[in-house]
Amino acid sequence: MTQQGHATPADDQLKWRDANFAAGRLPVHLVAFVQAGVAPILGVRGMNGRPLVGSGVACRVREMSLVRLFADCARNAMLLEAIEAGSAVAATFSRARDHRSIQLKASSARLREPEAEDLPEIARQCAALADELINLGYTRAQALAYTAFDPDGLAVVEFRPKRIFTQTPGPGAGAELLR
Amino acid sequence: MSVAGLRALRGAMEGIAASLLCTCDGEGQPNVSMISQVHWVDDDHVALSWQFFNKTRLNLLATGQASVELFDPVSHARHRLQLDHVETRTTGPLFEMMKARLAGIASHHGLEGVFRLLGADVFRVVSIEQLSAPAASMEQSCHPLLSAVRSCIDELVCCRDFDDLADTLLDGVARHLRIGHAILLMAEGDGRLFAIGSRGYAASGVGAEILSGEGVIGVAAREGVPIRIGHLSADYRYGAALGVAAREAGLLADTACGVPFPGLGDPHSQIAVPVLSAGRVLGVLFCESAEIMRFDHEHEDALTILAGYFGALATLLGEDDTRATESPAPPTAAQAGLVTVRHYSRDDSVFLNNDYLIKGVAGAILWRLLRQNAETGRTVFSKRELRLDRSLKLPDHAENLDARLVLLRRRLDERDACLRIGKSGRGQFQLIAACQIALIEMGDDGASPSSSPAAS
């Protein structure tokens, strides 16, 4: 497997500080990052009060503020149920090649149906992730299995992030990115 | 929860694919991250690596609950575990196993110095949920390990002495388990280990020493558990640093002596399993490979079974010295030339002329045999008399003596020395000298205060 160095929390903080973006909007670099084919991880508080982890397949951001995270319904049925019931959500986006990781949090999210125009973009992001995994040493079969999705079985978890954190490993990991 | 289910998920815990972790704080706000290591502990428990004081840590302390998603790189199945925190271990076997694995993972990802194990968080597995079924047909191994282990054991149980046992174990690992590089080491009473045989290296390395706690071998011996890494890690490499550490610890003589460790220069996968018998660590079976992730849970199981058999048989054979002799008397050799044998009492190192031969208990044994030979002319000795000789500081277990005699014999054979140790019936052995021998006892400061008359 190829080792390609790693990002640092300080990198995230510098990018955030230097970015120029309006209140209520996300910086361009962050929007580009979450749409680049980085596997989203989703977390909620389940109906029984316990934490519940799941995985998404792709992400799109609308109007630089509305995060639309695509998740397999069958794989994430309990998560989706919890979101519908009003759970807070957390989504972490982690780039395999350098471990750059950003976490978005919101007090609630809404469930939507994907739109027709979403599918080509979801496929593009999954293909990009599969390519990256292969570059890192995954077999083609593993990479394709990891990024596979059922286009007819997706839900959209839609939320506006209230708090954003750097999750990149290293000193400062977990720090909130504040305006 | 299905007990078989958790064991069946070990393949998803090899660390090939990162696992996902979610915790919640006291108000129910979730926090999600990748997790470097999910470690299979037993049928009911896993352990997660705790590396940072972060939100995940705070949440765990607050609620004690976590949720983990695993991806199996072979079957491609996904599972979710619900976990309840039981305890955090910051020392001990589990901690050391995870620390070694994490060091390999960190090295592989270029994160050495960033990933550091602070603790092993042990969790009870409350539930297992299959999120997606195995999509790939489970590849049938073209070389089933269980069958390979059986072939090894079939051969081990036919061995009649420790020498044969050690060779058969290493041959079996190479031939049946198809592991190209293996070293068998036995433990000294002070925790050091010395190699008594190897396969797959240019030099056998017989006599090479490893310190307790040094590399995967030393940690496996100290903790009595298998240590396995899938990626090269500077923290667990053997080499020049070992010698420096040993000298600093006063465990090696300052004189440049010793046998180089025979390991690979660029190993990516290493596994060390302790040889246990009656709860004691007799030694370590070590395997390595230039491939990444060469050894998985199944290899760990297979090697642990073999090491256990080896330990039990070594103990049994060592206790069975009184059976009738079967070996013929070794041939006597014509004596020619003179070899000076020097003994340094501070570490019992022995030199033939100016060349290092051996040290430690094996060195003390050789020196005792040579002195008795010089004083009385005896050439045949019994293991029993060596065991009863307290000056040798031999641990009270039979296989320790066997291992040292094997080490001594192999070092002499490899050196093509004029001295040999030959078998002379069960429980006995013979010192064979094909030359005149002069003995010199060196003082602690390296001076030579006493010379014994030439012996033969």
Query: What is the C-alpha to C-alpha distance for residues B318 and B280, in angstroms, rounded to an integer?
Result: 15
Q: List B350's β-bridge partners, or say none.
A: B343, B358
Flag whether A18 is in a domain.
Answer: yes
Give the pair of three-digit tokens for residue A130: 């599969």
Q: Is A174 on the interface with B (CB under 8 A)?
A: yes
Q: What is the pLDDT of residue B450?
A: 58
Residue of B nearest to A143 (CA): B73
With CB atoms and an 8 Å threshold, state whether B78 touches A94: no
- How far lies A155's CA from each of A44, A69, B48, in Å? 15, 8, 30
Q: Is B116 on the interface with A (CB under 8 A)?
A: no
The string of pLDDT tens digits covering residues B114-137 is: 678 899 999 999 999 999 888 756
Burial category of B244 from C-beta neighbours within 10 Å (exposed 0-12, middle 13-18, buried 19 and up): exposed
With CB atoms and an 8 Å threshold, state whether A51 touches B73: no
> Which of A27-31, B242-246, B252-256, B410-414 holds the top average pLDDT?
A27-31
Domain ranges, ordered by start, for chain B: 3-132, 145-318, 338-451
pLDDT at position B456 over 80: no
Q: What is the pLDDT of residue B427?
A: 81
Q: Pick A145's closest partner by Cβ from B29, B63, B136.
A: B136
Q: Pick B29's closest partner by Cβ from A49, A54, A88.
A: A88
**CATH superfamily ID and name for B3-132:** Electron Transport, Fmn-binding Protein; Chain A (2.30.110.10)
B-contacting residues in A 112-131 (Cβ below 8 Å): none
The string of pLDDT tens digits covering residues B38-52 is: 999 999 999 999 988
B307 contacts B275 by C-beta, under 8 angstroms: yes
pTM score: 0.79
With CB atoms and an 8 Å threshold, state whether A88 touches B28: yes
pLDDT at position B246 over 50: no
B-contacting residues in A 3-22 (Cβ below 8 Å): 3-6
Q: What is the pLDDT of residue B27?
A: 94
With CB atoms and an 8 Å threshold, state whether A53 touches B135: no
Chosen for mutation from A42, A50, A164 (greatest number of chain B CBs closer than 10 Å) is A50
Query: What is the C-alpha to C-alpha distance for residues B343 and A106, in angstroms, rounded to an integer?
Result: 74
Listed range (B228-237, B325-334, B405-414, B430-439) with the worst mean pLDDT: B325-334
| Percentage of chain B modeled with pLDDT above 90 | 50
Chain A residues within 8 A of B32 when measuring between CB atoms: 41-43, 53, 90-92, 103
Q: Is B113 on the interface with A (CB under 8 A)?
A: no
CATH code for the part of the protein at B145-318: 3.30.450.40
The count of domains in chain A is 1
| Percentage of chain B modeled with pLDDT above 70 | 82
Flag whether A177 is in a domain.
Answer: no
Chain A residues within 8 A of B113 when measuring between CB atoms: none
Q: What is the pLDDT of residue B449?
A: 59
Nearest-10 crossing angle of helices B93-108, B215-223: 160
Q: Is B434 on the interface with A (CB under 8 A)?
A: no
Domains B3-132 and B145-318 share a fold: no
With CB atoms and an 8 Å threshold, state whether B135 touches A148: yes
pLDDT in tens, chain A (179 residues): 334 457 888 889 999 888 888 888 999 999 999 999 998 999 999 999 999 999 999 999 999 999 999 999 999 999 999 999 999 999 999 998 888 999 999 999 999 999 999 999 999 999 999 999 888 878 888 899 999 999 999 999 999 999 999 998 888 888 999 87
Q: Is B440 on the interface with A (CB under 8 A)?
A: no
Query: What is the C-alpha to C-alpha distance for residues B453 and B456, in angstroms, rounded to an integer?
Result: 10
Query: What is the C-alpha to C-alpha distance for residues A47 and A79, in angstroms, rounded to an integer?
Result: 9
Neighbours of B135 (CB within 10 A): 14
Query: What's the whole-number mean pLDDT along residues B306-318?
Result: 92
Q: What is the pLDDT of residue B84?
A: 98
Query: What is the C-alpha to C-alpha distance for residues B230 and A1, in angstroms, rounded to an integer?
Result: 12
Which amino acid, one-letter code, is at B44?
A: D
Query: What's the whole-number mean pLDDT along residues B272-279?
Result: 92
Element (H, E) at B184: strand B181-187
With CB atoms and an 8 Å threshold, state whether A170 touches B63: no
Flag whether A95 is in a domain.
Answer: yes
With CB atoms and an 8 Å threshold, state whether B24 touches A50: yes
Element (H, E) at B303: helix B297-318
Chain B residues within 8 A of A87 when measuring between CB atoms: 28, 30
Flag whether A4 is in a domain.
Answer: no
**In angstroms, what separates the C-alpha of B43 from chain A's closest C-alpha?**
22
Q: Which residue has tokens 């009870």?
A: B124
The string of pLDDT tens digits covering residues B339-392 is: 899 999 888 899 998 889 998 889 999 999 999 999 999 999 998 888 888 887
With CB atoms and an 8 Å threshold, state whether B32 touches A92: yes
Q: What is the pLDDT of residue B334?
A: 55
Element (H, E) at B247: helix B240-248
Residue of A nearest to B31 (CA): A90
Domain that holds residue A122: 9-166
- How far lies B302's CA from each of B132, B177, B238, B280, in Å? 30, 9, 24, 20
Give the pair of three-digit tokens for residue A13: 């903080």
With CB atoms and an 8 Å threshold, state whether A54 touches B109: no
- Count CB pairs under 8 A between chains A and B: 132
Query: What is the C-alpha to C-alpha distance for residues B66 and A123, in angstroms, rounded to an integer?
Result: 31
**In angstroms, what separates the C-alpha of B105 from chain A's closest C-alpha?**
11
Chain B residues within 8 A of A74 when measuring between CB atoms: 131-132
Which amino acid, one-letter code, is at A96?
A: A
What is the band of B397 on the pLDDT scale with cuts at 50, 70, 90?
Answer: low
Neighbours of B88 (CB within 10 A): 17
Give the pair of three-digit tokens for residue A71: 């998740």
Flag whether A66 is in a domain.
Answer: yes
Give the pair of three-digit tokens for residue A80: 């989706």
Which amino acid, one-letter code, is at B230?
A: G
Flag whether A179 is in a domain.
Answer: no
Residue of A nearest to B135 (CA): A145
With CB atoms and an 8 Å threshold, state whether B22 touches A51: yes
With CB atoms and an 8 Å threshold, state whether A89 touches B54: no
Average pLDDT of chain B?
Answer: 84
pLDDT at position B240 over 60: no
Flag whether A94 is in a domain.
Answer: yes
CATH code for the part of the protein at B338-451: 1.10.10
**ipTM of this complex prediction, to 2 decimal places:** 0.94
Q: Pick A3's closest partner by Cβ from B52, B67, B110.
A: B110
